[in-house]
Amino acid sequence: DAEITQSPRHKITETGRQVTLACHQTWNHNNMFWYRQDLGHGLRLIHYSYGVHDTNKGEVSDGYSVSRSNTEDLPLTLESAASSQTSVYFCASSGTGLAGKNTGELFFGEGSRLTVL
Amino acid sequence: RKEVEQDPGPFNVPEGATVAFNCTYSNSASQSFFWYRQDCRKEPKLLMSVYSSGNEDGRFTAQLNRASQYISLLIRDSKLSDSATYLCVVTPDYKLSFGAGTTVTVRA
């Protein structure tokens, strides 16, 4: 069955370190997204991609970067981790429906819980 | 103003009760609307799309009011398994905007 997986599921790191969260999907979806979820804020979009070599900033992109070298993967990198980046991170993917628009159904990974000390 | 706003709740209801809650959105150009369900510490999953004419899926009914810019979700005959956080999702463009969620707790 197609799926979307994230790794690591849990990570503890120190302030200033570089961290990369992996996201791999086998749906063959063009669209991939990274969200962070914090109490009181819901899901906030960090970066997204509509296809290979396409990346776009979301509403909370500062301090994060992504790259899309193939359809399956969208790794999220924290260049220099900060305590404010302690959060649960969700990767998601979606297909492209009529007229090239996002179908609206996102398939989420199980989340990566990151703690920055 | 946030793009999508929800009453966080919690809504505590007994089994068998009906519970309903709304979600307001700010972008009048929004075209697509959805309800997602998220169980504690799990990933969100699509519950249902919301169509202009309103739609039902079993015990769940979704409504859209474009004039007042809100969508609603009604759950009839609540089950213990309906306890979750319900996220309202709006697509003002190609991206999806999520509300912070409404928590529903169904008690025996």
- Residue type (1 letter), B75: I
A105 touches chain B (CB under 8 A): yes
Nearest Cα of chain B lies from the Cα of A59 at a distance, in angstroms, of: 10
- Residues in A closer than 8 angstroms to B89, CB to CB, are 104
Tens digits of pLDDT across chain B (108 residues)? 678 999 888 999 999 999 999 999 998 888 889 999 999 989 999 999 998 888 999 999 999 999 999 999 999 999 999 999 999 999 876 678 899 999 999 999
Please give the pLDDT value at position A103. 60
Neighbours of A96 (CB within 10 A): 15
Asked if A101 lies within 8 A of B101 by C-beta distance, the reply is no
When scoring A34, A37, A87, A112 by the number of chain B Cβ atoms within 10 A, the one with the most, hence best to mutate, is A37
pLDDT at A83 over 50: yes
**% of chain A residues with pLDDT over 70:** 92
CB B20 within 8 A of CB B6: no
Angle (CA) B78 B84 B85, round 5°: 120
Question: What is the tens place of the pLDDT at every residue in A35-66?
Answer: 999 987 889 999 999 999 999 999 999 999 99
Measured between CA atoms, the residue of chain B closest to residue A113 is B41
Asked if A105 lies within 8 A of B46 by C-beta distance, the reply is yes
Asked if A101 lies within 8 A of B99 by C-beta distance, the reply is no
Rounded to the nearest 10°, the torsion over CA B65, B67, B69, B71 is: 0
Please tell me the total number of residues recorded for chain A in this structure.
117
pLDDT at A31 over 50: yes
Nearest Cα of chain A lies from the Cα of B101 at a distance, in angstroms, of: 7
Structure tokens that stand for A24 in this block: 């791999």
